[in-house]
Amino acid sequence: MENGLPALMIAAILMLASVLISRGGLLGADAIGQTLREAEERHALQNRTGLTITGVTVDGSGANITVTLRNDGATPLGDWAATDAWVQYFGETGTRYDKYLAYTQVLGSDTWATGSFTNDVFEPGILNQGETVELQLRVNPVIGAGTTNRVIIGTDRGVTTSSYFPGPP
């Protein structure tokens, strides 16, 4: 009897430890499973997102760039504030600029805004499959004539598209 009580206490402690360790393992496995499901969902959205730049023009001043963007994927694009625009260009003096342009409603220096939509028959203001939008970008200092430059558009899902374009005429 004198050994029975300590043995019972040790058995209870071992049982409690086993339950706690098992619970921790199950919670960890559940967290990993949830993370994998979220990653799979993000990956599926990314795979269904397809953007193509169909044209880039620069006006005569070299400050305003018009990018025509078409949605070739099944995922609509409408969160314009979460969409990024970068321009890599050469200025009039030959200096290279790598600029991130912030989205805005009113176009200003080193910003971009959405312009007109084409074939926007479903959900106005959202770029659905088969629709195109003109993105208006403005840079300062201006783009130099006779230069080769690049524009990059990226979504919040990590999908990017880019295009090279010449400087102003």
H or E element: which one contains 134? strand 132-138
Do 41 and 72 reside in the same domain of the chain? Answer: no
> Residue 46: what pLDDT?
61
In a shared domain, residues 83 and 154: yes
The count of structural domains within the chain is 2
| pTM beyond 0.85, yes or no | no
Query: Would the pLDDT of 26 be above 70?
Result: yes
Looking at the fold, whether 72 and 141 belong to one and the same domain comes out as yes
Is 63 found in the same domain as 23? no
Together in a domain, 13 and 57: no
Indicate whether 4 pLDDT > 80. Answer: no
Under the banding of pLDDT at 50, 70 and 90, the label for residue 1 is: low
Per the structure, the complete domain to which residue 35 belongs is given by: 1-47
Q: Is residue 43 domain-shared with residue 59, that is, in the same domain?
A: no
Is residue 103 a contact partner of residue 83, using CB atoms and an 8 Å limit?
Answer: yes
Q: Are 45 and 61 in contact (CB under 8 A)?
A: no
Residues 29-59 have pLDDT tens digits of 888 888 888 877 776 666 667 899 999 999 9
SS3 label, residue 42: helix
pLDDT > 80? residue 145:
yes
Contact indicator for 51, 155 with CB cutoff of 8 Å: yes
